[in-house]
Every structure is written in structure tokens, then in C-alpha cells.
Structure 1
């Protein structure tokens, strides 16, 4: 006849102390409290006893042991509940030890496939192909808006309402950002599908659910008379010489502000009048960057642009960057430097922006100077196809583009001095 075991009381468990040898206090049904031998500190004082809940059971003819945690984190009542759960599994032919291992593995797998883990992996993979600022803001928005809400959840378990809840929160603050985050989440879900960690992209079900974004264009001065005033204001600018040179060069090369401010001296051949910008630094769609990887965007420099750069070289030639930060030659100038300079000159954000020099050139070259549109688009760094559908390479129409850039620089000089500029013939 089995020995009768009296159930433990909370007081017994609480008062139990470590002895010289290992002690076991049984509660019945396989549950017992294991108290390891007493230990002393280096100072000779007795250390508090460890009290560990254990469950002894037999499965497939073998005796096994399952840990339930330690007292007082796991109370007597909690330990008994875990014992009953384990005995239920045994009654159904399931080994509770193996069931726990499976749960732990499933939890670990879910953590490795959480939205945040997949999103960071996606970001690390594609960030090298993006502009530095785009990579920064992509991760910043995810960390600010998305990860706190759904980052810890398995990406395969997320549904459209989960993403919508995130978007609604952002929409209340900034609609444009909500659209951007929705697009980013879609890319992450599609990456998860491709890597076998999700079945589909739930953002596809959210099409049209956000109010349409308002179409905004970068403010730009395109009227020749107003352009003349802008150019004269730049010549009168009393800020730092580096920023002033950037302002003088901006209308002559009409690149994006980020491409201009991150210019490196190693990219220039001033004797040849050329600036070769690595495609990886251009703001292009990922597909286009992949197609043109290793190529360079060639910017023919008018003589006026070369003169500005030679003048600047005497000041910043020791730096890697053409337009270094005023506090350190090791970094390019701030992405707000040109915008701030325009504001100091009295041009507000509805009148002119750093991007506006591109629109200025695109409009006047086409409508006033009547240059070929494909030459203008190529010089803007846009993808341009030849009649056979192939992308033009960096040396295509170089002679014509040199002529166009010099014509443009001369035209701007004429505007600045107040000459009456007659529209020129189409550049062939």
C-alpha cells in the first residue's frame, strides 16, 4: 500500500530551511519542493535557501522530472496548478516535458520571425542601396511608429486591422507619414513572403483606406525676371564662403541638395570639366540603381562652375568633401544649410527650396532655351531610354550636354547682369 503523503501547507514551505544534505518536501501527486544543501558565503554566513518546485512522473515506462520554478516566485497554489496541467497531458498520452520544449521552441521561432526582426533584416539588406537620409528616416519611422505597436508580434500572424490601427494613429498626426509607413510595411511583408516567413502582404487589403495625400511640389522660381533677383541675392549672400559657393553652384548643376552637399573632391576632374557622381549616391529607385550599379552620373561643368570649384578648392581642398561642415572637415555640411541660406536671403518655403533649382532649370531649358527634353532629363539624373528601350549610359550625347550646360550658365550670367536675353535656338 502506497505511503500516504500529507499535503504541504504554505507555512511549511515558507519556514523550510536548507540542511546539510538535500531535502525534499512532498505535496503528493508527484509534486515536491527540492531544497539544495545549505551554503555559506565567503564571510562564513549562511546563504538563504533555494526552494525549487519539481514534478516527478513516469512516461513510456521511464521516470522523468519537470521543473516548475522556484518559491516564492511560484507559490504553492501555482505549483499545484502546474502539476494538474501536467497530469492532464499525461492522461491524454502527452509527455509534459516534451510539450514544454515544443512550446519554448515555438516561442523562440515566433520571436525570430517577429515583425521587428524581419523589418530590421530588410532594412539592413536594402539600406546600402538607398540615400543615407532615406535609410535613416525609414528606420526612424519604424522605430517611432510601428515597432512599439506590432514589432514583437510574429509577422505571419499580423492582419490588415493590425496595420490599420498603426496607420490611424499616425494619420491623426501626419497623413503623408501614414502613407509612407503603409508603403514601407508593404515592402517588409513582401520581403517576409519571399523569405518564407509570411503567407501574404495584408497591406494590399488597405488600398484606398487612407485619405489621398495632397500633391506637393518643391517650391521653385521659374520666371526669368525672378531668377535674376535670386542670382543677385546669392552673390550678395554674407554667410560662410562654403555655403555661398554651394548656392552659386546649385543652379549651374541642378542636382538634388543631398547629391550636392555630399560632393567629394575625388569625383571631380576640373581640367576636363567633369563631375562623376557614383550611382549609389543618387536618389534613384532601387531597380534603377541595380541596373546601373557601378556606373556614374556624369555632370559636364560649365566654365563658370569650374571657376567656382577652383576658388573653393583653396579653402576645402584638404577635406574629403567639397562642402564640409563648418565644425568638422570630416563631415559634409548640413542638409539644411542651403534651405537656411535661402530663408536668410528672404525667400520663404512657398517661393524657393533647395530642390527648386532643378525645377528652375527643367522649366527654362525647355520653355525658354528650347533644349531637347531627353538631354534635360538625362542631366537631371532621370532614367532616359533610347529608341530601342535601352537606358542611355553616362557618356551618351556628352557633346550636346556640354553645350547645353554652357548655354545654361551663360544664360544665367545674362539674367544676373540684367541683359535682355533672347530665347536661343534648340541645342542639337
Structure 2
């Protein structure tokens, strides 16, 4: 016969501990002092074991039976209910201390080695300003998509549409970290990911502006040359135009990344001049930043080599090509070139061109040129020169393609430099 709740309440202390059986291994254990606890007897790996479910009447008879049934289900999966109970207990303790801020700080600490200092500072600033005040102290397991969306809406109200999207990306990455540590489930990550559909679309024309006519680009360079900016900033603007690398890569470039140039002989030819940029400095998925096969090689045009030789006489005794204005130990400010474009020529280029725009300019001009000359294969070369890694391409495939197409990439880069020199 099974135990009844009435029998459990009526059980009194005796001279010795005893138990009242229920069913399926469940029984009520009564001590000599009258304490009553639910226990479950089972066998696992050939050994008899016991699991305690709690005190009666705090844990009712029906609740104890539910826990027994759960334990028996675990046994059917060839798992030890006691071990699983301990694992859940530890997970609950960990989750209780796993606030959103704690997980976010761990995520930043581990990712920062693959980020530039400026990006690291931006991520920290945005989290501290936009998310920590409302969500920082909450257990990450308690945070829902609507809660995050509410904070992103506040960013949108400031007019920072793109920033809201970036911050949402940080939150997704943080939740993926939490999922890996078993602090949240896959549904939580999916719920955060899906709020992107509720964010405002990027307004038309709010992308980084760019000039796309060669004559306009040439005039821009002339305006840079006529400006009152320092010589290194002017040369930085011209080198980014010739190499179409990202601003962060350019301003943190070091002299040891360049090869194939005889610095002692300014007239020596440099047909194999190359700028080798490590994967850690490229805009890649975090897991690819540690794989040097995803590094980027920039074949240098004759114009780029001449510029570098001129720059070498100015900053060649410094590690950075473009040292900062305050200290040679720091690189050029990430806003130096963009600020120049905004103020020069009486503000004529403000809202029309930014340093990143050289990449769009190169893509537009050289794709139009490819169409005019029926050079269909140039499209792939253009993407490779912009370091656009095709989705799903492995490191070995990417390295092989770059090596295979080095000569045509060099020719295309020279053609681009020649257009700008007209």
C-alpha cells in the first residue's frame, strides 16, 4: 500500500529512527526528534544509493512523488540522479552570481586581445552607458528580449540607429558566452537575436559617404595637399587612398609590416613591395583572428612605395608609420583623417567623404572599369583587395586564392593608383 498524507502527518517520533514506505523507492524518514524527510532509494552502477527530497510538510507527498518520478526518469537515461541534482545545484549557484555585467566583463576580457584599443574602449563605453544601468545587476538568466529591446529603443531615440544595432550585436555575443557556460539556454540566445527585426532600419543615406568619381577623388587629394594639416596626416590620407585598407589598420601600421623595399636606395625598383597585415589586426570573426592564414597582403603600387620612402625619412625611427600628435608611442588618432576631411576646403567635403569611403570609391570605380573593359574576373580581385573573405571559405582556401591571384591583384592596384595620379 502507498502512504497517505494523513499517515505522514500522524507519524510520531519513536525510540529509534524509522521509515514509512510509499512506492517506487520513495519513503518518509522519521528521526527520534520527530523530523520527517522524504528519501528515495535506488540502485545505480550496482550500488544502492539514496537521495533526499526535503522535509515534510514543506515538501508535500505529491511533490515528493513528482521528484521521485523525475529521478526515475534520469535513471532511465543511465544517469545518477544524485549527480544530476548536485550539478543542478551548482548551476543554480553559478547562475545566481552570473549577472549580465559579470558575464559581459568576462566576455570583454577574453575578446579584447583580438580587438584594437579603440574598439575595446568603444565596447566598454557603450555597455556602461546604455546597458549596465538597467541590466547590469540582473542575473543574465532573467533577462528577456523585450528588456534588451527597451534599452535599445533608448539608443534609437538619440538618433543613434547604427549604434543600437551594434549594441544588440554585443548582447547576442554575451548571451552566446552565457549559453556556453550553461547559464542560459539556446532559446534565450534566439530571443535576443530576434529583436533585431524590431529595430529601426538604417535611414537612407546614413551609410558612410563616399565620392565615386575619379575627378572628384583627385580634387579631394589636392584639397588635402592644400590644407594646413600636418605632413603625416596628409600622407596617411594618400596611403589609405592607394591601399584602401581600413582606417584602424592604416593608423596602427608598423614599419616591420613592409617588405620588398630598399630603404637605403630611393631609386631602387621595388616590383615585389608588399604590406603584410596580420590576421589579428584585420576585421574578422574572433575565431579567425588567431589564424595567420587570414592575414591580408597588400601589393604596393609604385606610388605607394614612393610615398612610404618619403614617410620613412620622417617617422622611420618610430615603430608606427603614423605616430600620434601627443606621443610617438601611440598611433595617429582614429579621427585625424576624418576631421581633416570635415574642415578642409571650407567644409566642402563634410558629409560627402570619410576615410572609409575610399573603399567604396575603389569598389565602384574599378567595377565600372571592369564592366567597360569586359574584365569579368576583376570583381573577385576587387573583393580580395578589400579583404572581403567569402562566407564559409576556409583559411587554406583563402591563403591559396591570395597567393594564386597575387600578380593580377598587383596589376589592379597599380591601375587604381595610376587613375588617382592623373
Q: Do both share a fold (TM > 0.5)?
A: yes
Q: In the aligned structure 2, how far is the partner of 1:402 from the partner of 1:60?
A: 90
Matched, 1:391 2:398: yes
Shift of 1:306: 0.9
Matched, 1:412 2:420: yes
Q: In the aligned structure 2, how far is the partner of 1:151 from the partner of 1:111?
A: 13
Note closer, same or farther for the CA distance 1:410–1:60 as it changes in structure 2 (3 Å cut). farther
Shift of 1:392: 4.5
Offset from partner CA, 1:358-412 (integer Å, 9 cap, x none): 1111111221365611111111111148999932444231111122222222222
Q: In the aligned structure 1, how far is the partner of 2:293 from the partner of 2:399?
A: 15
**RMSD of the TM alignment (CA)?**
3.1
| Residue of structure 2 equivalent to 1:325 | 324
| Residue of structure 1 equivalent to 2:21 | none
Does the 8 Å contact 1:384/1:392 carry over to 2? no
Offset from partner CA, 1:136-166 (integer Å, 9 cap, x none): 2222211111111111111112223322332
| Residue of structure 1 equivalent to 2:255 | 265
Does the 8 Å contact 1:251/1:357 carry over to 2? yes
Which runs of 5 or more residues in structure 1 are unaligned? 1-58, 62-88, 95-104, 415-428
2:201 to 207, 212, 224: 212
Note closer, same or farther for the CA distance 1:93–1:367 as it changes in structure 2 (3 Å cut). closer
Note closer, same or farther for the CA distance 1:169–1:267 as it changes in structure 2 (3 Å cut). same
Q: In the aligned structure 1, how far is the partner of 2:216 from the partner of 2:192?
A: 45
Deviates more, 1:136-145 or 1:315-324: 136-145
| Residue of structure 2 equivalent to 1:403 | 411
Q: 1:136-155 counterparts in 2 under 5 A?
A: 136-155=121-140
Q: In the aligned structure 2, how far is the partner of 1:403 from the partner of 1:203?
A: 46
Q: In the aligned structure 1, how far is the partner of 2:235 from the partner of 2:194?
A: 49
Offset from partner CA, 1:168-187 (integer Å, 9 cap, x none): 33232233322222222122
Q: In the aligned structure 2, how far is the partner of 1:180 from the partner of 1:306?
A: 37
| Residue of structure 2 equivalent to 1:252 | 242
| Residue of structure 2 equivalent to 1:68 | none
**Runs (4+) off by over 6 Å:** 89-94, 105-108, 385-389
Q: In the aligned structure 1, how far is the partner of 2:393 from the partner of 2:121?
A: 38
Q: 1:90-239 counterparts in 2 under 5 A?
A: 109-110=94-95, 112-173=97-158, 174-199=160-185, 200-201=188-189, 202-204=191-193, 206-215=195-204, 216-239=206-229
Shift of 1:287: 5.1
For residue 170 of structure 1, give the secondary structure of its aligned residue in structure 2.
Answer: helix
For residue 296 of structure 2, give the secondary structure of its aligned residue in structure 1.
Answer: strand
Note closer, same or farther for the CA distance 1:397–1:203 as it changes in structure 2 (3 Å cut). same
Offset from partner CA, 1:313-343 (integer Å, 9 cap, x none): 1111111100001221100010111111212
Which runs of 5 or more residues in structure 2 are unaligned? 1-30, 34-53, 60-89, 263-271
Q: Max radius of gyration: which structure?
A: 1
TM-score, length of structure 2 as denominator length? 0.68
Note closer, same or farther for the CA distance 1:149–1:217 as it changes in structure 2 (3 Å cut). same
| Residue of structure 1 equivalent to 2:309 | 310
Q: In the aligned structure 2, how far is the partner of 1:361 from the partner of 1:175?
A: 27
Q: In the aligned structure 2, how far is the partner of 1:60 from the partner of 1:229?
A: 97
Q: In the aligned structure 1, how far is the partner of 2:390 from the partner of 2:192?
A: 32
| Residue of structure 1 equivalent to 2:284 | 284
Does the 8 Å contact 1:374/1:384 carry over to 2? no
Offset from partner CA, 1:245-268 (integer Å, 9 cap, x none): 112212111111111111100101
Structure having the larger proportion of residues in helix:
2
For residue 367 of structure 1, give the secondary structure of its aligned residue in structure 2.
Answer: helix
Q: In the aligned structure 2, how far is the partner of 1:137 from the partner of 1:60?
A: 64
